[in-house]
Structure 1
């Protein structure tokens, strides 16, 4: 699975952004890199990342066309432009195309975190307002694409992860037998249907644990787990910590992250 996709021909720029994310409060996000849109598009289609950060100067990106393709494929994926060009016209075009942000290279940690915080909070408000139907903007459920059954299955998971979902139910939705659907899903995605669904639910629960003070029971219910005990057991098996321990760790990381700039400013004044 992929939460953040960085598309840039500049290896140093990709590693810089990855380093900023891995050393602070967003270290739980899974980051994937691509040096071309040809390599990035299959990742977008298969994993539907939370955010795609890309440089429009990538050789095969055709400027903002790549971002438009992402939005056409899934309007719920956040797109942020990452460029050395401080051009008012480019910024306006990005906004007009429905992109979610514009960052100048080299990326400043505070600017990157501000964008992530804003997008996560916006998605969370939508999620809670709609009864946690999806931690993204609301949209009507699209019919299954029988030519792309696995993509349809993944889209269904993203829209209904908070509800009881069975392999048989999703297989019937794409008109495949459960056994064949199960084999096809693992072949294309690289993991079983149940493992993918569980990982997706855990990822959503991480976001709620990090940015809200909702009780564990409510988070378990809002992410598709039958009860808080099963949620906690599954969470610890996958993450290595209980939900409460994970929340405490994220809170401590945020406090430390917030304290560092203040300490740096104090040192400069001295």
Structure 2
């Protein structure tokens, strides 16, 4: 049985905190709410003398909002995981949460399944961190890898096979929606578009360096529909596979 982990709830509305507590309980993960606070400043004061593994905080609150709270927590040694919770389905808030390095972003009203996925992701990441701490340290040329660097390496290793956002999210221990936003922010391209571009790069190589038929090239980079492959190739490269091969 996994040890119980602690959660600090921060929201200026009592009924919201009560609802979140019930959703956490119904998720059936080993997490318990150890404290409720009405704003970020109250949460910081409590954390001066207490510990929480996870802080779930509203974005907009009086006195000190959730984004300011996250930034303050990030300046501390060994900060807790932070989940932003908001009723504002606005990309601006998601971007701010990403910049503040929140572990996840949930929209009110939070459904049990969304909470379950969030806690599952946090649990997996914490388990990985503990495993890395206990493992012998070894120096690498790149130093610590970010989740996006890990995602990119996994994509390249898995190509030309079928690769989904959900699959990669599991590998890097991030919520799929959070990984999607983080990927676009850091790579300046959507996850799906990036995967397609990498497939087309492999197709370019095959078209230039082999005598495989275009149908075979399409199959090798994961496309069973030749027309769809050709249209995608032209959209990304500006030429059809046949036109590209004639020029090489």
TM-score (normalised: structure 2): 0.49
Larger radius of gyration: 2
